[in-house]
Structure 1
Amino acid sequence: MPVPVTEAVSPRRLIRDEVFLRLLDAIVEGDLTPGEQLYDAEIEKWVGVSRTPVREALNQLATMGLVEIMPQKRTRVTPIDTTRLRGLADTVGTLLRGVVRDATPLLTDADKETLRATLTSAADKTATKLERDGLLTAGLIDVFVRRLDNRTIARLVKRHLPEVRRALIATPSDAAYVGSLPLLKPVVTAATAGDAEKAAAAFAAYWDKGLQTAVDEFAALEGKTA
């Protein structure tokens, strides 16, 4: 397990939270790849902490579907499974469609400017997958989730979105991003105009196009039809 090179734990965060965030970022961003074995001792050395917070972080990631723990056998990054990904994409997509619908009437002028800036940045063909992930989360989804200000929904998004993000970053090509990009403008146009139903429908089309493409790519790698 080649661990990423980062700084030691920040004293401003609880140790268990720091370890969790480090591992979460490493898994979502692909530094720790699907199926890769995880060893407590290496993680302890990487983050500079004892075994207990490492175990706590791994258990938390397991509840999110990002880590697979087999007691007395192995711990590994959960492989990407197309059946699970399809179901997760549908579930999260339905959740986010409702968020977009309910949050659109609440958007501030600053929120709308962020969405417009996201649309402009999305046209950059030189952007990396990590930069595109940032656009999808901070520049789009987070805007609606934050404005809705519903703790239960925010918690669900925080729990399930990382697994979807990981899959999108891990796709073999840019097809999911490129194919769905033309569908982003209707989302921003409707949301900034305050049309909640149209924004929600546009977001659903944007989300479904990107995720279906991603599922199809992984299915092709597995040699089966999704």
Structure 2
Amino acid sequence: MPALTADRRLLRNDVFEVLLTRILNGGFVPGERLKDAELTAWLRVSRTPIREALSRLVPLGLVTTAPNRFTRVAPMIDEEIAGAVLVLQKLYPDALAEALRLRTEGDELELRLVAGRLERDGGVSPIEIFQRVLLIALASIDNQVLAEAIETVHLRVLRYLYLTPSAASILDRERVLDFAEAVASGDSVAIGMLESVLADVAAILDRTAAVID
């Protein structure tokens, strides 16, 4: 029985990760309707893990629902992204400082392996590696309230980076590799690097808002 329970938990996580990745990289475009029947047929799973995964994506700002009406990929709204950046500018420095302090040899090894994928494979997205580095760092901190607060907003910013051509260039290959190396080494310069990335995202959002006005 315990093994079966573990398998079910793994299945739920797998479905969530697949849907999350497809939303972040634009495989499911903003505004696209997500239908249970189509998703279950595509992933070859029952309706339950699909609904559980979608319900987890709602508070992350990636899916919107109207009970008994529709489930859609959330739109990207610049004002919301700008708000998320402001939140991260306040939360990320403390979180990353704690992650650098608490990092283990296992974390360092994992970070270097992740960075190695980007060095070896030109087809790997730097944004994907940046996301993975942040995930490893956040997993190591003790302050789970802080980690959860970041989780509720940072995926919106990552999707913006994935899907906005002018913003995608912020995370070029060398910048991400330098960031991953700093985090792996426990170098506090990583905090300034992360703050710089957020400042660059905010600048693009400001320019976009100015053009619209």
TM over 0.5: yes
Question: RMSD of the TM alignment (CA)?
Answer: 3.7
Structure 1: distance between partners of 2:43 and 2:179: 43
Structure 2: distance between partners of 1:188 and 1:135: 12
Structure 1: distance between partners of 2:89 and 2:169: 19
Cα distance change on mapping 1:45 and 1:193 into 2, 3 Å? closer
1:167 aligns with 2:155: no
Alignment of 1:1-226 (within 5 A): 12-14=7-9, 15-108=11-104, 111=107, 127-128=122-123, 131-138=125-132, 140-173=133-166, 174-178=168-172, 185=178, 192=185, 194=187, 196=188, 199-209=190-200, 211-212=201-202, 215=205, 219=208, 224-225=212-213
Q: How many residues are aligned here?
A: 206
Cα distance change on mapping 1:146 and 1:212 into 2, 3 Å? same
Contact 1:35–1:79 (Cα < 8 Å) also in 2: yes
Structure 2: distance between partners of 1:105 and 1:55: 38
Cα distance change on mapping 1:42 and 1:101 into 2, 3 Å? same
CA deviation map 1:147-193 (0-9, x unaligned): 33433333334443322221111112443224x96597489559847
What is the TM-score with the length of structure 1 in the denominator? 0.70
Cα distance change on mapping 1:26 and 1:191 into 2, 3 Å? closer
What is the TM-score with the length of structure 2 in the denominator? 0.73
Structure 1: distance between partners of 2:211 and 2:30: 17
Cα distance change on mapping 1:135 and 1:214 into 2, 3 Å? farther
Deviation at 1:104, TM superposition (A): 2.5
Structure 1 gap ranges (5+): 1-10
Please give the secondary structure, in 1, of the residue aligned with 2:212: coil
Structure 2: distance between partners of 1:164 and 1:90: 11
Structure 2: distance between partners of 1:21 and 1:183: 22
Deviation at 1:212, TM superposition (A): 2.3
Identical-pair percentage: 27
Structure 2 gap ranges (5+): 1-5
Contact 1:181–1:206 (Cα < 8 Å) also in 2: no
Counterpart amino acid of 1:161? H
Deviation at 1:41, TM superposition (A): 1.4
Structure 1: distance between partners of 2:13 and 2:186: 39
